[in-house]
């Protein structure tokens, strides 16, 4: 396995586990049982990557590598064993930020490695970060992240774009990947810390007389 493939491999595992933990945390907030913990973790951890692979006509990454599902289940077990903790919601936010930043880079990198156009690769990076979280929020009956004005998709878009542009400029994988990760995580962290959000549409519907 060449260094780039190895890097993508381990980053993908790490991101799946982190996102899996956010799925388990969402289940914890609803006081679900251990089976639901595992289901939430798995669907959150591999959901975005599954959609990405289907769209770029690549083999779905976890089908022949069940280790991804096992990593998600292990993350769910850790959350379960931690028991009642008051910091779960904050942990969910920050773990989700880490997973989002990692998947923005990994999703974009995988698409680029398969010859997908850089612009489309950025979109694949964003979808990789967003889709699992969308499914998680729907299952947990939480406000859907796509319908919230907080900065999340924007952070993923920034990270994916930074990585893609640097790769297009022939910057090495690790410098480009670290820059993309820092850009995505940094913007999301500031949004969490300072309550940043995007402005809403000011037009609205006009009243008819």
- 201 within a domain of the structure (yes/no): no
Q: Within 10 A of 77 (CB to CB), how many other CB atoms are there?
A: 15
Which of 15-24, 52-61, 176-185 has the least mean pLDDT?
A: 15-24
Average pLDDT in the 113-134 region?
92
pTM more than 0.85: no
Asked, for residue 202, whether it belongs to a domain, the answer is: no
In whole angstroms, what is the distance from residue 143 CA to residue 156 CA?
Answer: 19
Q: pLDDT band at residue 184, thresholds of 50, 70 and 90?
A: very high
Highest mean pLDDT among 25-39, 76-90, 111-125: 111-125
Q: Is 205 a domain residue? A: no
Q: What is the mean pLDDT of residues 103-122?
A: 93
DSSP code for 2: -
On the question of pLDDT at 145 being above 80, the answer is no
Over 50: is that where the pLDDT of 207 sits?
A: no
Q: What is the mean pLDDT of residues 32-56?
A: 93
Distance CA 122, CA 103 (A): 11
Q: Per the domain annotation, does 45 fall within a domain?
A: yes
- What does the pLDDT read at residue 209? 38
User: By the 8 A CB rule, do 22 and 99 touch?
Assistant: yes
- Residue 89, C-beta contacts closer than 8 angstroms, at least 6 positions apart: 25, 29
Q: Is residue 200 part of a domain?
A: no
Task: Find out whether 139 and 164 touch, Cβ atoms under 8 Å.
Answer: no
Q: Evaluate whether residue 182 is within a structural domain.
A: yes
Instruction: Give Cα separations from 182 to 159, 170, 185, 204 (angstroms).
Output: 7, 19, 5, 36
Residue 208 pLDDT more than 50? no
Give the mean pLDDT of the chain: 86
Domain annotation covers residue 209: no
Q: Residue 54 belongs to what domain range?
A: 3-194
Report how many domains make up the chain. Answer: 1
* Position 206 in a domain: no
């Amino acid at each position: 396995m060449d260094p780039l493939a190895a890097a993508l491999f381990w980053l993908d595992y790490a991101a799946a586990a982190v996102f899996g933990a956010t799925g388990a945390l969402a289940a914890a907030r609803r006081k679900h049982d251990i089976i639901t913990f595992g289901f939430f973790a798995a669907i959150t951890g591999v959901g975005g990557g599954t959609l990405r692979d289907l769209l770029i006509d690549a083999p779905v990454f976890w089908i022949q590598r069940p280790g991804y599902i096992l990593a998600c289940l292990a993350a769910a077990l850790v959350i379960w064993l931690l028991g009642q903790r008051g910091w779960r919601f904050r942990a969910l936010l920050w773990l989700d930020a880490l997973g989002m930043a990692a998947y923005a880079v990994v999703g974009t990198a995988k698409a680029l490695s398969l010859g997908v156009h850089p612009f489309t690769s950025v979109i694949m990076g964003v979808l990789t970060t967003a889709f699992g979280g969308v499914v998680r929020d729907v299952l947990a009956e939480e406000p859907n992240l796509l319908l919230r004005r907080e900065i999340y998709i924007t952070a993923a878009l920034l990270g994916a774009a930074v990585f893609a542009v640097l790769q297009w400029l022939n910057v090495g994988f690790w410098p480009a990947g670290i820059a993309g990760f820092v850009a995505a995580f940094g913007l999301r962290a500031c949004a969490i810390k300072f309550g940043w959000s995007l402005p809403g549409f000011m037009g609205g519907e006009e009243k008819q007389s």
